[in-house]
């Protein structure tokens, strides 16, 4: 790399996209992807993530705003004049060209005559040296995916855009390719912008994840940060599973907020509450299922003091190997999810049993109660 350090920055300032039919796919958006990072745009179908990607690629022209690559403004440059390449959804390999020619395509278009060595090296990198003279349809899905990556990377783009690159692969292959893409990214050091609807994929691969919903970025941060401290119900539900319980603000006690839920009280660290709190106001209390411990009601006395507690009755239990997933009906909230590691299984925890759910207040997060409590859940995504 002879270019200065920030030449691979992607800077989106105020870009938005409204189609001729009036549909706004992307609301005005500011985003900076630093050079060399693996950045994921995560969201459900139609959230605007692909449109954002296409505006970076030059395949869509933004309605407002500007796109910068490093210091260069590229907002109105056609795609073939941008130092950006894309791995397309379902790959878009040219069916009439063999693998070699697919990979050589970009080099040839830029008038480079001797492409043989470069292409062969590239095919070696993705372990497809043997397949050079085959047509795309003769390769498996995973091999096609690697050709698509090779075809884009051979041009040494400043930024590589990946549009659902693993969507067409089966689960096992997807895991394998996730690791491989991550390895390639570390090796070549190019900025990767990765669009996906699969939260696990985004968290596995990316340094930074932007969660998008309805044309806006809901929250941006590292995977762990997003998971532990979601700011909205959408992020809380879309990334993993969250139990959200409606509660009323009672008092403030030092660094904690005391909340009333049902008959009991719950503690919430102030720092972990993204909602404004005033006494008598409503707040959504969030807790991840694996953070909750489950104790049979008979042993309730053994629970250490200072923990948040709820009572409930087991509605359903499913054993899935590493853990057991319980569904618990509680007076404050139906269908609470609790994942318990299968270390020491309590035989009494069967459907119908009365239990106490308890967790450390430090794991609790608080969200604004004016939001849709079901935003980002699977039921909603399917609708």
Partner 1 sequence: MPFVTWLKRHLVVIAGLLTLAYLLLPNVIVTLFSFNKPKGRFNYEWQQFSLDAWKQPCGVADMCGSLSISLQIAVWATVGATILGTMIAFALVRYRFRARGAVNSLIFLPMAMPEVVMAASLLTLFLNMGAQLGFMTILIAHIMFCLSFVVTAVKARVMSMDPRLEEAARDLYAGPVQTFVRVTLPIAAPGIAAGALLSFALSFDDFIITNFNAGSTVTFPMFVWGSAQRGTPVQINVIGTAMFLVAVFITLASMVISSRRNKQKA
Partner 2 sequence: MSTLTEAPPPLAPAEEAEPPRKRGRFTPYWLLLPGMLWLVVFFALPMIYQASTSVQTGSLEEGYKVTWHFVTYWNALSEYWPQFLRSVFYAAAATLLCLLLGYPLAYLIAFRAGRWRNLIMILVIAPFFTSFLIRTLAWKTILADNGPVVHALNSLHVLDLTNWLGWTAGDRVLATPLAVVCGLTYNFLPFMILPLYTSLERIDGRLHEAAGDLYARPWTTFRKVTFPLSMPGVVSGTLLTFIPAAGDYVNSELLGSTDTRMIGNVIQTQFLRILDYPTAAALSFILMAAILAMVTIYIRRSGTEDLV
20 versus 379: smaller Cβ distance to partner 2: 20
> Binding to partner 2 by residue 167, rule CB under 8 A?
yes
- What Rg value do the Cα atoms of the chain yield, rounded? 25
Site for partner 1 in 53-92 (CB under 8 A): 57-59, 78-81, 84-86, 88-90, 92
> Binding to partner 1 by residue 339, rule CB under 8 A?
no
- Give the contact letters, 191-220, x = binds to partner 2 (CB under 8 A), - = no: ------x-----------------------
- Give the contact letters, 306-335, x = binds to partner 2 (CB under 8 A), - = no: ------------------------------
Site for partner 2 in 29-48 (CB under 8 A): 44-47
Q: How far apart are CA 293 and CA 358, in angstroms?
A: 5
> Binding to partner 1 by residue 156, rule CB under 8 A?
no
Contacted by 19, from partner 1, partner 2, none: CB < 5 to 8 Å by type: partner 2
> Binding to partner 2 by residue 50, rule CB under 8 A?
yes
Spatial neighbors of 57 by CB under 8 A, at least 6 apart, are 79, 82, 84, 86, 161
> Binding to partner 1 by residue 134, rule CB under 8 A?
yes
Q: Judge contact between 58 and 74, C-beta under 8 A.
A: yes
Q: Among candidates 176, 178, 206, 203, which has minimal Cα distance to 191?
A: 206
168 versus 373: smaller Cβ distance to partner 2: 168
> Binding to partner 2 by residue 173, rule CB under 8 A?
no
Q: Judge contact between 159 and 193, C-beta under 8 A.
A: yes
SS (H, E, C) 99-119: HHHHHHHHHHHCCCCCCHHHH
Q: How far apart are CA 225 and CA 246, in angstroms?
A: 23
Q: How far apart are CA 270 and CA 130, in angstroms?
A: 60
Contacted by 183, from partner 1, partner 2, none: CB < 5 to 8 Å by type: none
């Amino acid at each position: 790399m002879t270019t200065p350090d920030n030449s691979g920055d992607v800077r989106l300032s105020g870009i938005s996209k409204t189609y001729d039919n009036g549909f706004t796919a992307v609301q005005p958006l500011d985003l900076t992807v630093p050079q060399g990072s693996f950045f994921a745009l995560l969201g459900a179908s139609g959230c605007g993530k692909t449109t954002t990607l296409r505006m970076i690629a030059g395949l869509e022209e933004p309605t407002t705003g500007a796109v910068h690559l490093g210091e260069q403004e590229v907002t109105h440059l056609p795609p073939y004049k941008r130092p950006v390449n894309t791995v397309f959804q379902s790959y878009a390999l040219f069916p009439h060209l063999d693998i070699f020619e697919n990979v050589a395509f970009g080099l040839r278009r830029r008038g480079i005559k001797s492409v043989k060595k470069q292409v062969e090296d590239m095919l070696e990198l993705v372990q497809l040296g043997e397949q050079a003279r085959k047509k795309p349809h003769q390769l498996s899905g995973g091999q096609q995916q690697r050709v698509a990556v090779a075809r884009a990377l051979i041009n040494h783009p400043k930024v590589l855009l990946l549009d659902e690159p693993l969507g067409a692969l089966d689960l096992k292959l997807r895991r394998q390719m996730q690791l491989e893409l991550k390895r390639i990214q570390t090796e070549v050091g190019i900025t990767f912008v990765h669009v996906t609807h699969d939260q696990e994929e985004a968290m596995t691969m990316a340094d930074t994840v932007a969660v998008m919903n309805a044309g806006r970025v809901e929250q941006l941060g590292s995977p762990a940060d997003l998971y532990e401290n979601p700011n909205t119900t959408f992020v809380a539900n879309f990334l993993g599973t969250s139990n959200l319980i409606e509660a009323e603000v009672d008092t403030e006690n030092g660094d904690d907020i005391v909340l009333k839920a049902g008959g009991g009280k719950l503690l919430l660290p102030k720092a972990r509450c993204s909602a404004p709190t005033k006494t008598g106001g409503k707040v959504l209390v969030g807790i991840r299922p694996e953070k909750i411990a489950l104790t049979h009601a008979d042993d309730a006395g053994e629970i250490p003091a200072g923990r948040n507690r709820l009572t409930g009755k087991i509605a359903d239990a499913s054993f899935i190997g590493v853990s057991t997933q319980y569904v618990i009906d509680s007076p404050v909230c139906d269908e609470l999810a609790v994942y318990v590691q299968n270390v020491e299984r309590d035989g009494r925890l069967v459907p119908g049993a009365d239990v106490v759910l308890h967790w450390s207040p430090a794991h609790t997060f608080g969200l604004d109660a004016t939001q849709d409590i079901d935003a980002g859940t699977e039921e909603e995504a399917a609708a």
